[in-house]
Amino acid sequence: MPELPEVETICRTLRPHLEGQVLGAADLLRPEIWQNAGADTVLRGIRGRAVQRVLRRGKYIVWELEGGPVLVLHLRMTGHLFFVAGVEPAGKYTAAVFWLDSGGQVHFEDVRRFGVGYFWPQGDWRRLPPLCDLGVEPLSGDFTPAFLAEKCRGSRRTIKSLLMDQQIVAGIGNIYADEALFTAGIHPARPAGSLALPEIQRLQHSVVQVLQEAIQKRGTSIRNYADGEGNPGQMQDHLKVYGREGEACARCGHPLQRMRVGGRSSVFCPRCQPETTPLAGQPGARTFCGGRRRPALDPPAGLSAPVPGRATGPEPAAARRAPAGRTGLLVGLTGGIASGKSTVSRLLQEAGVPVVDADQLAHAALEPGTPVYRAVLQRFGTEILAGSEADTGAAVAEATAGTGPAAGQEGLRPIDRRRLGELVFSDAQARRDLEALVHPWVQRQMEEAVDAWRRRRAQKPAEAAPVLVLDVPLLFEAGWDGRVDQVVVVYAPPEVQLRRLQERDGLSLEQARQRLRAQWPLEDKVRRAHVVIQNGGTVEETRRQVEELLKRWGMTDDTRPGAR
């Protein structure tokens, strides 16, 4: 069934052909599709009236006509609404043809004959059934984390069923529910009431992100969807989980699985979207990696003055308490580009806190001779290599195949990370391709480091660090915020980020702005954080905040590794 992005794309492609045009004759070939009026009433009501606006409400297409009448169409499973510049005869599955005084036509075809139409002579069409029963628009200002949290509170429905309930959120169907839940790292069968506030915030952002991307790519054409001009969409080439059962997860490489949720087929990654259930007597409890359960976190709060647009509230329980005995505290450290995250990471390491740096792992993955190096070279070509000389075709073939002198590090030029960065920050698809090659390897290394730390904590807790920090620039984008006990975000004002990028990397102002636009807005990360460290001032100011954080973790001078 066409969902919000497909219906929005149809409306956008029909507007230039319909708005301002007068409807002439109409061939209503299947009168039974009209639900609240006879075909004759519809014909009399629309003839001679100009189409003032073409709108979307949920999955409904709305034509507002001159003088007040409104025509509404719902495509259901196989409906197709498209403009014809000239005159085209009705086909076998044509339900209606609308003639325009300009000489063009709009055809409504429906192979399975589930599509329906409504006609209202006048009045506010939003108050008339079935439109009056629709929930909020997910791309409107009404769809907020607070709204979603209210709908989830106490609900035993699966979160996927809740997202697809048109009386709660209008326009989301099976495709984009699966995609949004994957992006947010949430299992489709999770009870909605079990989601903690950071998960709800992440899901709300993911819904908006996925729908906007799908509209940008003009919808998903899997079977017979086409836009209002007859062109297919491109989103089917960018779906992460829907229709990809058995394929490798784009994020971690684990095979995707399929299950039934609310009577609908659902595809998900069991590793990136772990199934968790609330503890008895603890609504909203969460299960973290390793099978340990912790209560849901309180609303986010930071270490310093509020950032504009940032959530406020009591200090989270995870930040107040000391690491819990043998289990320890797993912390995710992230921020925006040039926010000063590396400074915070260094200060933590100086204080004896072990840090697993995803950037260092990614650098190691791109070293000459590694499998990731060969895959990246095969995808992007020799222009990303250091030096100006050109490789021969034989040398490139050897490097990508892992044979010959280029199979090892000796004699093989390294990747010029500056060139690679310029490429991927200017091309969204190139960035996604690079992430798909590098991230699975980095994730495996991080998982191994976490497992090793947990084993040490379980076997000899007094000798292992009570806190392990994962320094991950794309923590939220990769879904790792759902795998850690606490998220620390390093914040710097945008003007500071821009200045640092220009001074540190030698970028122009526009190049620096492009780097910032290519990432999640830092303010969004702040809203999803448990702790925020302000890093727009001096190093000493940042150091004081890090010391305060260590105290909250229970890491006083005499409890840090090496103090005994």
Task: Enter the DSSP assignment of 480.
Answer: G
The DSSP string of 503-555 is HHH---HHHHHHHHHTS--HHHHHHT-SEEEE-SS-HHHHHHHHHHHHHHTT-
Q: Which one is catalytic: 49, 59, 151, 528?
A: 59
Question: Residue 464, SS3?
Answer: coil
Distance CA 546, CA 558 (A): 17
| DSSP-assigned letter for residue 278 | P
Q: Three-class SS of residue 334?
A: strand
**Cα 277 from chain centroid?**
23
Per the annotation, the verdict on 3 as an active-site residue is: yes
Would you say 104 and 22 are in contact if contact means Cβ atoms under 8 Å apart?
no
CA 32, CA 352: separation in Å to the nearest integer?
74
Classify residue 325 by burial, with Cβ atoms within 10 Å: 0-12, 13-18, 19+.
exposed
Element (H, E) at 56: strand 51-57
Q: Is 131 exposed, middle or buried (0-12, 13-18, 19+ CB in 10 A)?
A: buried
- Continuous segment of H or E residues that includes residue 458: helix 428-459
Residue 145 designated active-site: no
Cβ atoms of residues 466 and 554 within 8 Å:
yes
Listed in order, strand segments (DSSP E) in 188-319 are: 257-261, 264-268, 286-287, 293-294
> Of these residues, 2, 145, 191, 316, which one is catalytic?
2
Q: Which of 12, 57, 157, 264 is catalytic?
A: 264
Rounded-to-integer distance, Cα 292 and Cα 327, Å:
8
Assess whether 217 carries a catalytic annotation.
Answer: no
Exposed/middle/buried for 280, CB within 10 Å: 0-12, 13-18, 19+? exposed
Q: Is 557 exposed, middle or buried (CB count within 10 Å of its CB: 0-12, 13-18, 19+)?
A: exposed
CA distance 86 to 89: 10
Which residues are part of the catalytic machinery? 2-3, 59, 264
